[in-house]
Structure 1
């Protein structure tokens, strides 16, 4: 039994930068909500990547403003030629990026550099959590190569032994394939890297009592997620879609529920993330679960907590 004189364990808060292609697959929206509910995470910056990065920034801005987190700055990455359908545009139909009360940085990569540099004399190293294609992150490495000594990389990328739908075998994964050259640049660097490949994030679906608990919640973050999910899916659902990116958020503060392997990985010309003992760089990889059901329960409990 704990006495009043005993100290509570100190909560370690990890400074993170979230780099996201929110507004494409809906899992980024779930991941953003989850990150906001993690007391272990101190979100210093959110940057948007690929395609219409202002569209993506508007989703982030409206989400943050609606939950009272306009203390978090938003950085817009360089747009590319992605021609997606903008499936969440209805949610931001009347939202102008200029109305966001917080800081908006038009150069997302410069914003990352500035944010990381603020920790130059700190004993903490920021974690760059990338849950989309690696356009911004490759640009970051080109602009500031020594960023690898000042931060850590965490990502939702690749496939090692299992692919989409838990199919056995290595296969190309979207976040890698969208920009193979950028992925090669990041994975060939000597950065401290941790990833969740499809092996561990490719079948995270909330259903049954877990999903019902979300439907019953009046939490504003949960409401934002479900509003976007209904718009994205164009129908009501009895379960979530695959929530790939939530596992990367978990890895930003813990890996206790996962089995990790140190693997030498390389991105090949086909966009596959292959084990290459000779030419690969060491990556800390979440290759399987110790308790996936516990992760799902924890995810729901956190999202619905007041």
Structure 2
């Protein structure tokens, strides 16, 4: 039986969000019950998500608009994400609910639903804050943090306060950090193979990859978010470990840092309880094969 998921996404910047959604749509192990947009220009992100669903013939999946601003700081909510600049035809909205209400109501109806966080955590943090009883015990599987490295990761850094709410909650949290996802880079040969794919959905994703390659600094496609979705399809792709995790809310250079509190230098007794199942290693060949096969039909 397929597991129901809601994908909370900042689709429109890195191409990995679109690839992750496509992987979920092409995987019978998962049932996408909804998509929610988060951070900055959430209305444009909604349009890109709706366009992707239209290409895949899945306009039945509701897309709910979420918070553009993080909890603590202001941010520019009007800038057009790079991958949204080629959108031409506006697609009619298919969900009247806001993202936070959609998440809360979906969990209330089905506590087994999984929240897949592949953007900043504002929507999920606010859902936990507003409805802690309903959200208690919900499974949250997210891309975020860095647990064997000392630097803030983007999804966490954008709204550490929302992450703090989640970490202090009674949700079941699993996180795939940047220190693991950076091992998952498609090769030039992989990208050349994708360019040869001719189906409409392949062409659409290929266009988004081209935009990403033109606008990104690194000029490479890293499967950050697809790895998070792939873990739900094939848990053996990741090696996981329970850890006591907290997030830094202050600091000029450390705000948004995810800290594993079990270290040989920390003398706190007792240690805080393990609260996050953290990814510590990845089987990249297994991930690559799954993504290329499911999303692009490349064997």
- Alignment TM-score, normalising by the size of structure 2: 0.86
Match among 262, 279, 287 for residue 286 of structure 1 = 279
- Is residue 190–residue 281 contact of structure 1 (8 Å, CA) maintained in 2? no
After superposition, the Cα gap between the structure-2 partners of 1:91 and 1:21, relative to the gap in structure 1 and judged at 3 Å, is same
* Moved beyond 6 Å, runs of 4+: none
Match of 2:3 in 1: 14
What root-mean-square deviation, in Å, do the aligned CA atoms of Structure 1 and Structure 2 show? 2.1
- Is residue 27–residue 245 contact of structure 1 (8 Å, CA) maintained in 2? yes
Say if 2:110 is the partner of 1:95: no
The Cα offsets for residues 212-257 of structure 1, whole Å up to 9 and x where unpaired, read as 332221233322211112223338xxx8422211111112233202
| Structure 2 unmatched ranges of 5 or more | 250-254, 263-270
Say if 2:200 is the partner of 1:220: yes
Say if 2:22 is the partner of 1:33: yes
Q: CA deviation at 1:39?
A: 1.1
Rounded to whole Å, the distance in 1 between the matches of 2:95 and 2:204 is 21
Match of 1:112 in 2: 103
Say if 2:294 is the partner of 1:302: yes
After superposition, the Cα gap between the structure-2 partners of 1:132 and 1:280, relative to the gap in structure 1 and judged at 3 Å, is farther
Match among 267, 273, 291 for residue 258 of structure 2 = 273
Match among 125, 128, 134 for residue 121 of structure 2 = 134
Match of 2:239 in 1: 259
- Alignment TM-score, normalising by the size of structure 1: 0.84
Superposition pairs of residues 113-192 of structure 1, within 5 angstroms: 113-119=104-110, 125-149=112-136, 151-161=138-148, 169-192=149-172
Q: Secondary structure at the match of 2:186?
A: coil
Higher mean C-alpha displacement, 272-281 vs 128-137: 272-281
- Is residue 203–residue 244 contact of structure 1 (8 Å, CA) maintained in 2? no
- Is residue 231–residue 238 contact of structure 2 (8 Å, CA) maintained in 1? no
Tell me the number of residue pairs that the alignment of Structure 1 and Structure 2 aligns: 277
Q: Secondary structure at the match of 1:287?
A: strand
Rounded to whole Å, the distance in 2 between the matches of 1:281 and 1:138 is 19
After superposition, the Cα gap between the structure-2 partners of 1:229 and 1:137, relative to the gap in structure 1 and judged at 3 Å, is same
Match among 31, 54, 59 for residue 42 of structure 1 = 31
Q: CA deviation at 1:176?
A: 0.5
Superposition pairs of residues 36-75 of structure 1, within 5 angstroms: 36-75=25-64
The Cα offsets for residues 86-120 of structure 1, whole Å up to 9 and x where unpaired, read as 2022221x22142x5xx223411111122222226
Rounded to whole Å, the distance in 2 between the matches of 1:160 and 1:189 is 20
Q: Secondary structure at the match of 2:85?
A: helix
| Structure 1 unmatched ranges of 5 or more | 1-11, 162-168
The Cα offsets for residues 194-224 of structure 1, whole Å up to 9 and x where unpaired, read as 1111122123211144333322212333222
Q: CA deviation at 1:265?
A: 0.8
Q: Secondary structure at the match of 2:235?
A: coil
Match among 212, 231, 236 for residue 232 of structure 1 = 212
Rounded to whole Å, the distance in 2 between the matches of 1:292 and 1:79 is 33
Match among 49, 72, 82 for residue 75 of structure 2 = 82
